A and B are shown apart, each in its own frame.
Chain A
């Protein structure tokens, strides 16, 4: 008898022995072969492949839907938070010219930068892209937006002056065909194809269109050598006129920047080169050279400074240079109250720091809401789980009722309840607990947000708690009591640990929902109760700073993932049960 009662010596088909046998089988390592000699693992996977494909086919619609509507937007958002191609697309030549400039001291950038900026900005203004760039750079340096706008308006002036002078010498300067013949490669001679392609692709990138149509113009290489700036300016204009405005290049009078460029070319070595020229427009060019002193002196820095004196402010140039790369950490730095200084990253001025505070507040309030949901939801879930089914179902409907009411209505109801002339204050005043002129401020602050959001998110805590508690048999509590535990000890030592997975599931649900909540804080949050999500929404819909919104969103996503990871490490995600 004593031998037989030792579990390890008891033989036969008992569950104990079945367990031991399976343990033993696992210890015998080495591949198991199927009947035809292939490893069993492989033949099994072959047999299961068909089933797997079928399963994949069944989930494919949802998978595609999620990819298109969820994963792709998230990827796009992550990309937007670092993307910064607008600068190099809009003012490509300026970006190029600024690479030489260090920008560390008080020195202004070189003339070439002003020159490039003049032509880039002129083209951008014609294409109506300069204000977009201005808005983008304004996020980094206040005032750049208006700088770009005012400059865009007055860049025509100098070109007009030059044109007037030239037309006084010869009427043909104001005629499209004259210009066209002069700049065109003609029937013989070499074409400046590279120049043309460069200008076309720059314009294409700036406007975001393909611009693949026929321009009916090709600059001549001879002209590009003789009057380089003029050829560039004319080519840009020709492409713009033909492909954006849809005009015929030959019939149109070029825009002012071409005259500015011509004046500059002639004043900077072009005069000598024109002497040897005998092509179309040679006479007019030589006439212009002879009267060079009548043509206004071109100084791009002065032109820019006249348009707006802020072009002599080195800080603006520094900002343009800092944000000229195609990808920038600037949005992320901004999102954590930092900025990209010349000597590395630095904190923003104290009065501009807002996001870290908002992140901290969002975390703190989400934790408060999660905590209140646990405190309020646990007893309710307990009662639900321990009542007879019929009664529990009726109470469950009460718990679910908020789900069937509009979120807006529920939030607004809290506004009615909590405001200073609201129900709760009225009752407190009536009871004499609060003086009439000293009513409590319970809405449009953190308190109001926590109250309203706790109420709204409570079902997300109760439901997982309830379903976990339902699986805890009452016999555990009875067992604990029969073993001598008081009601409290039985609850705390036996029941509560088993309900922790429900608390975990509920907390994750509530916390993650709370941390990204938008509408309730927006309505009842006032200034002290708003979340980071409200700021994101502001940047998406009001300030249109999508890059910053994307960076804030990415950080929020990262914070949630990190917290989830930490939760998994500490509590273990296996311990989360939804029932």
Chain B
């Protein structure tokens, strides 16, 4: 990344590396810059280094190499309590021996704020998360969702500009989790704070973020807005990690006009969009989203390559139909169709032809 881009960044990681044991790098050469007010999610499987990055930003871990800047100033040597970064922990870390109000008032007390001002801010923060009546309770008397709100309020009450969240919704059930996703996003937008959010839940990442950084093996695999990430994965890890994906192995036959002709291992030929293949003869992993597969011949482009498929299973899922096919020797090929009045329900055992737009089929690294 260019230096100029980092100068006006609010948060910047510059060539950051981290090793715990001196033998392996948990974070390898991380470069990242965020503008003020952005909601950025670090997404990745466990052990990918995303939480370590967050901890380095918060100051609980020191970078082995490289520099972390906050608002243009290096913060490597600033202890965590002087960084002024709000943080929401995985299990909330609400202090169990204090009431909700005392929990919220704690960051203000350590900042030597006067009593009346403290009370005012605590009240405002509680109202922001719609927990105004709960100030006198202990954290153990609250449900998971309520604790989550309090943890959020506590991270925001001292008006931090940067708030870090470490899988804050991991302990909630699905319905409440989805609800809180919107809630957090709304509050973040209202306050205009910058948020770094760590999760391994891709739906959460896609729903909430301005940009998502997909981590794997200590590196950012792709940093992009959710739609770009979903529709244009830059490599096969991202393609497989984000959303459901059908993949097939093959070899590049031709490359021209922004189109790649790929011969699948079964011999069939298909058109793809070359993403990170550069020359004919290369092995490639072809990736296509289940909902972009088309089996109605009328909707296919003229001259498009089609593949023969056998319907193995039809699953009714309410809003969508999910059909499992056997395509080119791969019997885990999934297509998803919207439950619309005119939609065809494929019968298991029937033979069909499937195809897609070349743009939707991406030829990635093997």
Contact = CB atoms under 8 A, between A and B. Distances in A.
Interface in A460-503: 473, 475-476, 478-487, 489-490, 493-494, 497-498
B144 A15 contact: yes
A476 B84 contact: no
A575 B155 CA distance: 29
A475 B80 contact: no
Contact of A7 (B58, B93, B130, B164): B130
Choose among A18, A478, A487 the residue with the greatest number of B CB atoms under 10 Å from its CB.
A478
Interface residues of A, number: 32
B87 interface: yes
B280 to A, nearest CB: 53
Residue among A481, A483, A490 facing the most chain B CB atoms (10 A cut-off): A483
Nearest to A8: B130
Interface in B97-114: 97, 106-107, 110-111
A484 B145 contact: no
A478 B60 contact: yes
B149 A482 contact: no
A476 B93 contact: yes
Contact of B143 (A5, A16, A493): A16
Interface in A273-322: none
A494 to B, nearest CB: 5
B85 A482 contact: yes
B169 to A, nearest CB: 13
B175 interface: yes
A480 B59 CA distance: 13
Contact of B90 (A15, A475, A482): A475
B207 to A, nearest CB: 14
Interface in A484-527: 484-487, 489-490, 493-494, 497-498
A478 B186 contact: no
Nearest to A575: B97
A12 interface: yes
A10 interface: yes
Nearest to B55: A478
Contacts of A7: 130-131, 145-146, 149
Interface centre among A4, A14, A497, A498 (most CB of B within 10 A): A14
A481 B106 CA distance: 11
A480 B93 CA distance: 9
Given A14-B175, A475-B89, A478-B93, A483 B145 contact: no
B81 interface: yes
A498 B143 contact: no
Nearest to A10: B179
A6 B96 contact: no
B58 A478 contact: yes
B84 A13 contact: no
Contacts of B175: 12-14
Given A5-B183, A473-B93, A498-B97, A486 B145 contact: no
Contact of B173 (A15, A19, A486): A15
* Majority DSSP secondary structure for residues of A touching B: helix
Contacts of A53: none
B161 to A, nearest CB: 14
Contacts of A498: 95-97
A7 B172 CA distance: 14
Q: Which of A19, A479, A486 has the most CB of B within 10 A?
A: A479
B176 interface: yes
Contacts of A32: none
Interface string B173-186: 10110010011001
A62 interface: no
Contacts of A489: 110
Contacts of A475: 89-91, 93
A487 B179 CA distance: 36
Interface in B141-192: 143-146, 149, 154-155, 158, 164, 172-173, 175-176, 179, 182-183, 186
Nearest to B151: A479
A484 B176 contact: no
Contacts of B179: 4-5, 10, 14
B274 interface: no
B44 interface: no
Interface in A7-42: 7, 10, 12-16, 18-19
B86 interface: yes
Given A15-B173, A484-B111, A479 B89 contact: yes
Contacts of A476: 93, 95
A472 to B, nearest CB: 9
A16 B137 CA distance: 14
A5 B180 CA distance: 8
A4 B96 CA distance: 28
Contacts of A1: 182, 186
Nearest to A496: B97
Given A478-B58, A478-B60, A494-B95, A483 B146 contact: no
B130 A497 contact: no
Interface in A194-253: none
B87 A484 contact: no
Contacts of A5: 130, 179, 182-183, 186
Nearest to A17: B143
Nearest to A472: B96
Contact of B97 (A15, A480, A487, A497): A497
Interface string A414-450: 0000000000000000000000000000000000000
Given A19-B143, A476-B93, A482 B186 contact: no
A332 B143 CA distance: 55
A295 to B, nearest CB: 92
A145 B146 CA distance: 78
Contacts of A483: 81, 86-87, 106-107, 110, 154-155, 158
Given A475-B91, A479-B93, A15 B130 contact: no
A4 B130 CA distance: 11
Contacts of B149: 7
Interface in B206-223: none
B81 to A, nearest CB: 5
Contact of A14 (B176, B182, B183): B176
Contact of B80 (A6, A14, A478, A494): A478
Given A13-B175, A14-B176, A15-B176, A481 B80 contact: yes
Contacts of A484: 81-82, 84, 107, 110-111, 158
Contacts of A16: 143, 145-146, 176
A16 B182 CA distance: 18
A18 B144 CA distance: 11
Contacts of A4: 179
B87 A482 contact: yes
A489 B111 CA distance: 11
A7 B148 CA distance: 12
Contacts of B145: 7, 14-16
Interface of A: 1, 4-7, 10, 12-16, 18-19, 473, 475-476, 478-487, 489-490, 493-494, 497-498
Q: Which 8 A-B pairs have the closest CB atoms?
A: A483-B107, A479-B93, A15-B143, A482-B87, A475-B93, A16-B143, A481-B80, A497-B97
17 contacts: A5-B183, A7-B146, A15-B176, A16-B143, A18-B143, A476-B93, A478-B58, A478-B60, A478-B89, A480-B95, A481-B79, A483-B155, A484-B84, A484-B111, A490-B81, A494-B95, A494-B106
Given A480-B95, A481-B79, 17 more contacts: A12-B175, A13-B173, A14-B145, A14-B179, A16-B176, A18-B143, A473-B93, A475-B90, A482-B80, A482-B83, A482-B87, A483-B81, A483-B154, A484-B111, A485-B107, A494-B106, A498-B95
